[in-house]
Amino acid sequence: MQKVIVVNGPNLGRLGVRQPDVYGKQDIEQLRRLCEQWGVEYGLAVEVRQTDDEAQMVQWMHEAADRQMAVIMNPAAFTHYSYALADAAHMVLDADMPLMEVHISNPAARDEFRKRSVISPVATGTITGLGFLGYKLALEAVADLTK
């Protein structure tokens, strides 16, 4: 079964309490349960992770490349400036694994600094603005791309 890590960046451990008008009322545990459930639907072994640490995110990309795991990534604020994470994301593609970028909100419709993603040029595809549904669609894409 294809392994997929669903990696969430800084402050996403605060889902449910952080700006619920922007990110919704559901927390990261609900996201975990939903992703695992969707994984069963799509025949994927899904593991949901979250960290506030850039180095940890980079190391998870190395692990994905080394272990042939597909990646769904919400890089959170790292989206807008982490070249280290962009370089690490590239290694996942070099390992012939898809990497889907997901954002719960639509960063293009928000602050000026959110309009640039340094991850998008590296990602297989990007889904924004659809709440948790974006993760489901990204899992469907991974299932299709790795079948």
Whole-number Å distance between alpha carbons of 96 and 93: 5
Q: Known binder of ligand: residue 117?
A: no
Stretch that binds ligand DQA, among 26-34, 46-54, 70-78, 82-90 (CB under 6 A): 70-78
> Residue from 79, 82, 124, 126 that binds ligand DQA (CB under 6 A)?
79
Other Cβ atoms less than 10 A from the Cβ of 93: the count is 15
Q: Known binder of ligand: residue 120?
A: no
Q: Does 137 bind ligand DQA (CB under 6 A)?
A: no
The H or E element containing residue 39 is: helix 28-42
Given 23, 42, 83, 90, the catalytic residue: 23
Which residues have C-beta within 8 Å of that of residue 141, sequence separation ≥ 6? 98, 100, 124, 125
Q: Annotated binding site for substrate: which residue ranges?
A: 74, 80, 87, 104-105, 114
